[in-house]
Amino acid sequence: MLEWPDLVRPLPLTALAAGMIAVLVSASSNLPLFVQMFLALRLTPEQAVSSLTSMYLALAVLGAALCLVYRAPIILGWNTAGLAVLIAEGPRFTPGEAVGALLLAALTLTLLGLTGLFDLIARHLPPPLAAALLAGVLLPFVLRGMTAIPAAPVLLLPMLGAYLLGRALVPRWAVPLALLAGLGAAALTGALHPGSPQPAGHLSLIRPTFGAPAILAITVPSVLLAVASQHLPGLAILSASGYRHVPPRPLVALTGLAGLLAAPFGSVTLNLGAITAALCTGPDAHPDPRKRYIAGLSCAAGYLGLGLNAGALLGLASVFPAPLLQGLAGLALLGPLLVGREGTLVAEPRWREAALLTLVLTASGFTWLGLSAPLWGLGLGWGLAWLRGWRERPAG
């Protein structure tokens, strides 16, 4: 149990800073994706603010509670690859259908945690295909970010240079540095468009509707990507950092439940953090592992601040030129894309070819027979691997 003296003692500055860095990196990296998602789903400004508010408040409350209960730096977040799925598939559906699909995704993740089926999926989902699915979802956004450079070189070349310099010298700050460079270039060239003051965060219900096409296109990929690209890496980071006492099932179930409560207000799928978790669980956050939970509390406090000021945050994004948002989104997704690509190269040969097929089909973005590209990629890639395994099976 947490004792009151723990709260009144001087707080470790490095742990506080680590949590705030995690918030800054995640927010600056994903804000362009949120803006694109809101446009794809055709959300009203009020609904877009509600989406950010509900997401950040859920992450803040649950994240702080888990850190205090388990005394561990449990960092929560959203499914970045899931944002990419919503951007790609969202124009096909109404806001209500998208919310209904996200509700079912959250319910599915909750049940996976409560029943222990999460462990079964974790054991049977082939890592090369999961990595290829992640890379295939993200690749089109990275390519679109790069192709935006000729359209606005004055804005994007300084941003690209800052990103490359940041990756070489201070990797965790690469995306924020790119954002600052892009904003500086936009300000100097008069490309910024100041908007009207935005309201604070607020909640607005979006009535969900349910349909098979939205479930296949949004729910299924969102669940698979949450498990493969967020929960499994997040749990691995906690375990590798020495927090093996934290049980996986409650984390999966509770983040799913938080997403279930927040989804009617427009929130995306919630899950464990992965990249941001690495910023808060290692020695850089604090030499004493018992003190690193404070980094998690700091991160939760940052999320709370963003949730209460979601309108201002979204208003800030509206002043960015469109090429700047597109380029920043592409740079921000390079890291997760690299993780996915590397995961497809370490497998045995039959899985490498299957992973390549999964990646290419997923990145193509085509939809046929009501099934989206991620489902075709995963299904046909898995089928190819099975056929190759069957053919290579020794006779007798």
Nearest-5° Cα angle at 205, 220 to 296: 70
Which pLDDT score is estimated for 173?
77
* b/e 175-206 (16+ beta carbons within 10 angstroms → b): bbbbbbbbbebbeeeebeeeeeebeebebbeb
Taking residues 178-183, report their average pLDDT. 87
Other Cβ atoms within 10 Å of 395 Cβ, number: 3
CA 193 to chain centre: 28
Domain ranges for the chain: 11-334
Q: pLDDT band for position 225 (50/70/90)?
A: confident
Across 75-84, 219-228, 271-280, least confident range:
271-280
**Six token digits for residue 162:** 């800052």
Which is nearest to 143 in space by CA: 368, 359, 381? 359
| Whole-number pLDDT of residue 351 | 82
Q: How many CB atoms lie within 10 A of CB 173?
A: 19
- Above 50 in pLDDT, residue 361? yes
Q: How far apart are the first and last CA of the chain?
A: 60
In the three-class reduction of DSSP (H, G, I as helix; E, B as strand; rest coil), residue 24 is classed as helix
pLDDT band (50, 70, 90) for residue 11: low
DSSP reduced 3-state for 272: strand
- Quote the pLDDT of residue 158: 93
According to DSSP, residue 77 is labeled E
Write out pLDDT tens, residues 259-271.
999 999 999 999 9
What pTM was estimated for this model as a whole?
0.78
Res. 5: pLDDT tops 70: no
pLDDT digits over 93-151, tens only? Answer: 999 999 999 999 999 999 999 998 887 877 777 888 878 877 887 788 888 888 888 88
Of the candidates 256, 276, 280, 285, the residue with the CA atom closest to the CA atom of residue 104: 256
Euclidean distance between CA atoms 135 and 132, whole angstroms: 5
**Percent of the chain having pLDDT more than 90?**
38
Min mean pLDDT across 105-109, 376-380, 387-391 is at 387-391
Across the range 157-177, mean pLDDT stands at: 87
303-350 pLDDT per residue, tens = 999 999 999 888 877 777 878 878 887 887 787 777 777 777 765 777
**From 47-51, 147-151, 280-284, 298-302, the region with the lowest mean pLDDT:** 280-284
Q: Which long-range contacts (CB under 8 A, 24 or more apart) does 377-384 make?
A: 377/132, 377/133, 377/136, 378/129, 378/133, 378/224, 381/129, 381/132, 381/354, 381/355, 381/357, 382/126, 382/129, 382/354, 382/358, 384/350, 384/353, 384/354, 384/357
User: Would you state the structure tokens that stand for residue 396, as one six-digit string?
Assistant: 């007798």
Cβ count near 65 (within 10 Å): 14
Which is nearest to 134 in space by CA: 278, 314, 318, 344? 344
- Residues 337, 142: contact at Cβ < 8 Å? yes
Q: What average pLDDT does this structure show over 207-220?
A: 93
Split at pLDDT 50, 70, 90, the class of 183 is confident
Q: What token pair was written down for 306?
A: 């963003």
Surface-to-core class of residue 370, CB atoms within 10 Å of its CB (0-12 exposed, 13-18 middle, 19+ buried): exposed
Per-residue pLDDT band at 241 (split at 50, 70, 90): confident
